[in-house]
Chain A
Amino acid sequence: MNMALLFDGSLIVLILAVAVWTMAVRNSFAAVIGYATYGLLLALAWVRLAAVDAALTEAAIGGGLTSVLLIRAVVRLRSSESAARAETPGRVSRLLAAVLAGSVTAALALVVLTLPEPAPTLAPQVAANIASTSLGNAVTGVLLSFRAIDTLLEAVVLVFALIAVWTLTPDPLWGGRPGPRYELDENGMLAYLARLLPPLGIVVAVYVLWVGADLPGGKFQAGTLLAAMWLLAIMAGLVEAPPISQRWLRGALVLGTVVFLAIGFAGVPLAGAFLAYPEGHAKPLIIAIEAASMLSIALTLGLLVLGPPERGA
């Protein structure tokens, strides 16, 4: 047995064990920690599958931002946790759910074994056409050129999700600031970290965005990192969350999509189709879209984690 197989086997066992533990553990906070660990382990699995772009995203979202969101939810639900526990479905319905989920999983596993080997793939076609974009990273090529419409619509999904979260604002607080007011503790650890990390985080984010053209990385990973830095500064009490009615905030939220759409429409006269790039100019245009989108994604993700307004402007 070689080392790689041993590593992969242990990883799979570990992922399954953490998943089961996350579901079985009764304490919500412990479950969240389990879930964050699960996200990081999945990111490792993506690395082993040579999908580094997916790994970065999984680590940032599954292991990072989602955990912050869930921890805040746990803290907020603490007072009603015992009431919720009383509503837990009975043994029979839980058993039925387990049987249903188990049989779907088993069926899926069997079906996956029947899939053709080697898997049919569009990778050769991507490789043959990537030159037209002058990009080195095939994933970025697929996301911003061949399947650009999906990426454009995904950005719109994020905006929709934020609008959905904002619907939960109590009417009198509309236009107010999301989240609680965090008190600054000048000598605290959090304030120290919030002063130390963001400059580094911003540099790394810009680097991740820049190399995304040729190496794994890109706007989503970079935007997540920026969002994390912003949230750190807010939670340390160094900066305040902005009121959601601010015009600059709204503008920044849609900036990425607007730039994407504008360049997409410019493609009609310049390159013959919506979302096409003029010959030889693909790379700078794609980087422009990525840079604008990074800012919008960072803001949207940060505001999604902060939730609906809870206090006046």
Chain B
Amino acid sequence: MNTLPTLLPEATSAGGYLLVLALVLPFVGVLAALTLGGRHARAVAMLALPLGLVLSLAIVVEAVRSGQTLVYLLGGWAPPLGIALRADGLSAVMLLTTAVILLAVACFAHADFAAPAAGGEARRPFMFWTLLLAMWGSLNTVFLAGDLFTLYVALELLGFAGVPLVCLEERPETLQAALRYLLFALIGSVLYMLGAVLLYGAYGTLDIARLATLVRPEPAAFAAAALMTVGLLAKTALFPLHLWLPPAHAGAPAAASAVLSALTVKGSFFLVIRLWLDVMPGIVTPAAGQLLAACGAAAIFVGNVVALRQKRLKLLIAYSTVAQIGYLFLMFPLAAGLSALQLPTAPAVTGGMLQAISHATAKAAMFMGAGLIYSTLGHDRIADLRGVGRQLPMTMLAFALGGVALIGLPPSGGFMAKWLLLAAALTTGQWWWVVVLVLGGLLTSFYVFIVLVRAMAAVDVPLTPKIVVPRHREAVVLALAGLSFLLGCVALLPLDVVQIGRPALLPAGLQ
């Protein structure tokens, strides 16, 4: 009974300590914010986030320099007995994206969540800054952990950081949205856990790299894949498990919506990629890949059509997230198709990741922009946006740039992502996904233009803003939107960072 795999023993790599720091820093921030009290929570976050950005940059640089996955063996114990932190290209770019977006959100929210001038601690600012750090730590754990149980803990962390962000405003409907989100998140965790238990029962290890060499097409592995995938889809809000997302994301304060929509759902999506491409590529069937992408296609149509019918801007943006999540899942049958032709899977995987990053930056900008519009007008009814373009020119420009990225026009990141996916679909002869990509872009352009046309409409009397929005808050939104607009330029880089540490071809199975 020798099922222990015979992989080369791993060792901590040169820059491995960076992974520990990236993992621990946000949690130290949470503990410090909690102990020092609400008056210092914001300062702690504003100190930790730039540090985290430098750390994630260092990890990207180190991964590019070495051209390999960075590894750190915790406690000096090698898997399967111990647990390894690993950062391949996929993890590195997600760490960097998260740090950039969270820093932008923090700059945006700086004024909204100030501690009370009278002294003492207030609930909203204390919660916001603590939860922002908590969300950051949870995401970093998702990106770095190399073990299925550590990832389960990371999913729990992600849920407990996300749910309270939804009900920061004390209204019955946000509480209801938060509760629904909690139920989906918990059911998702239980299903994931059941799958992980089955895998340990069948193969005696929870380490991702080891499982990849051990998993065979048999009932336990299929059941585990199905349970874990469904659990993660519930957390990612892929159609038809998306019902919790719109009220949750639309009811939160703008800065919180930006984090939830841009980053939180990407955490569980990241684990779907890990599971399908890294843990069990050998057993996932082509039909399963098509089914996953079919759910994605349904999400694109339903999300976009329902977004078009929304009367409130924040709900429109939330439904747009439902649609954009759909695009993420088109990569699975395309990667499988490329692999079947003995071609590198890079276009599909990089395309999917670019879509995730492009949507993250664009959507964060759009939610924050919607927040500024709300504070200026005192409402976010789409029918009554007239005149807001003159009042908030930078915000509306940001909304337009973000919209361009969502639609997928050049030179945005969305364009590059869809271009890669389109090319992969054509190469592999899966023309039906081309139809989905093109029609989805068309539907998206409708609602982006509706909002822009309304906001840009000329007014005889300039409207009087409820609150005058400081320019620097608009600038943050514009900077993030500009990033998503120019993200397509990564195609000019000499190296595809996402592919560091990935095999060019998938093992047989997902073909």
| Chain A contacts to B: CB under 8 angstroms | 107-108, 110-112, 114-116, 118-122, 125-126, 129, 145-150, 153-154, 156-157, 159-161, 163-164, 166-171, 174-175, 245, 247, 250-251, 253-254, 257-258, 261, 267-268, 271-277
Of the stretches B215-223, B262-270, B438-446, B450-458, the one at the interface is: B215-223
Question: B125-148 interface mask toward A, CB cutoff 8 Å, 1 = contact, 0 = none?
Answer: 011001100100100010000010
Report yes or no: A164 in contact with B82, Cβ–Cβ below 8 A.
Answer: no
Report yes or no: A164 in contact with B164, Cβ–Cβ below 8 A.
Answer: yes
Chain B contacts for A175, CB-based, 8 A:
120-121
A140 to chain B, nearest CB (A): 14
A266 to chain B, nearest CB (A): 12
Number of interface residues of B (CB under 8 A): 62
A159 to B138, CA, bound (A): 13
Q: Smallest CB-CB separation from B124: which chain A residue?
A: A171
Interface centre among A153, A171, A245 (most CB of B within 10 A): A153
Report yes or no: A115 in contact with B164, Cβ–Cβ below 8 A.
Answer: no
- Tell whether B81 is near chain A: CB-to-CB under 8 Å: yes
Report yes or no: B30 in contact with A156, Cβ–Cβ below 8 A.
Answer: yes
With A121-B204, A163-B134, A167-B127 as known contacts, state yes or no: A250 contacts B37, CB within 8 Å: yes
Pull 29 A–B residue pairs with CB atoms less than 8 Å apart, ordered by A. A108-B194, A110-B219, A111-B198, A114-B220, A115-B198, A115-B201, A115-B202, A116-B3, A120-B202, A120-B204, A120-B205, A122-B205, A145-B75, A146-B77, A147-B150, A150-B149, A150-B153, A153-B154, A154-B153, A157-B160, A160-B160, A163-B34, A166-B127, A167-B164, A170-B170, A245-B37, A254-B34, A257-B31, A274-B74
Chain A contacts for B123, CB-based, 8 A:
166-167, 169, 171, 174
Report yes or no: B150 in contact with A120, Cβ–Cβ below 8 A.
Answer: no
The 7 closest A-B pairs by CB, nearest first: A120-B204, A160-B160, A167-B164, A273-B76, A275-B75, A120-B3, A174-B123
Q: Smallest CB-CB separation from A257: which chain B residue?
A: B31
Knowing that A120-B3, A122-B81, A150-B83 touch, tell me 17 more A-B residue pairs with CB under 8 angstroms. A111-B223, A120-B203, A126-B81, A146-B75, A146-B81, A146-B82, A146-B83, A147-B83, A147-B150, A150-B149, A156-B30, A157-B153, A160-B30, A160-B134, A250-B34, A274-B74, A276-B77
Report yes or no: A160 in contact with B161, Cβ–Cβ below 8 A.
Answer: yes
A125 to B77, CA, bound (A): 11
Report yes or no: A114 in contact with B74, Cβ–Cβ below 8 A.
Answer: no
Question: B224-255 interface mask toward A, CB cutoff 8 Å, 1 = contact, 0 = none?
Answer: 00000000000000000000000000000000
**Chain B, 171-206, CB within 8 A of any chain A CB:** 175, 194, 198, 201-205
A33 to B415, CA, bound (A): 58
Report yes or no: B77 in contact with A145, Cβ–Cβ below 8 A.
Answer: yes
A107 to chain B, nearest CB (A): 6
- Tell whether B73 is near chain A: CB-to-CB under 8 Å: yes
Interface centre among B4, B31, B122 (most CB of A within 10 A): B31
Q: Choose from B74, B124, B127, B223 the contact partner of A273 (Cβ within 8 Å).
A: B74
A119 to B3, CA, bound (A): 10
Q: How many residue pairs between the two chains, A and B, have CB atoms under 8 Å in the bound complex?
A: 157
A116 to B204, CA, bound (A): 10
Chain B contacts for A275, CB-based, 8 A:
74-75
Report yes or no: A163 in contact with B164, Cβ–Cβ below 8 A.
Answer: yes
A293 to B130, CA, bound (A): 21
A209 to B474, CA, bound (A): 55
Chain A contacts for B126, CB-based, 8 A:
174
A268 to B154, CA, bound (A): 23
Report yes or no: B75 in contact with A267, Cβ–Cβ below 8 A.
Answer: yes
Q: Choose from B35, B163, B204 the contact partner of A164 (Cβ within 8 Å).
A: B163
A236 to chain B, nearest CB (A): 29
Report yes or no: A159 in contact with B170, Cβ–Cβ below 8 A.
Answer: no
Chain A contacts for B285, CB-based, 8 A:
none
